[in-house]
């Protein structure tokens, strides 16, 4: 599980609350709060 502010690496991450998918385009990009439900946790 990844949290807001972490830099888990390039790839697809799914919000554990609402299922919204975000894509990180680089290894240095940090996760932000879910734009749909403001959750701060993602599953790879």
Distance CA 16, CA 4 (A): 12
25 by DSSP, 3-state: which? coil
Q: Output phi, psi for 6, to 5 deg.
A: -75, 155
| Mean pLDDT of the region 2-9 | 97
pLDDT of residue 33: 98
Boundaries of domain holding 18: 1-44
**pLDDT (tens digit, 9 = 90+) per residue, 14-40?**
999 999 999 999 999 999 999 999 999
Count: domains in the chain:
1
**pLDDT confidence of residue 41:** 98
Please state whether the predicted TM-score (pTM) of the whole model is above 0.85. Answer: yes
């Amino acid at each position: 599980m990844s949290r807001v502010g972490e830099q888990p690496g390039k790839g697809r991450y799914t919000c554990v609350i609402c299922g919204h998918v975000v894509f990180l385009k680089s290894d240095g990009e940090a996760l932000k709060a879910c734009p749909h439900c403001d959750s701060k946790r993602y599953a790879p």
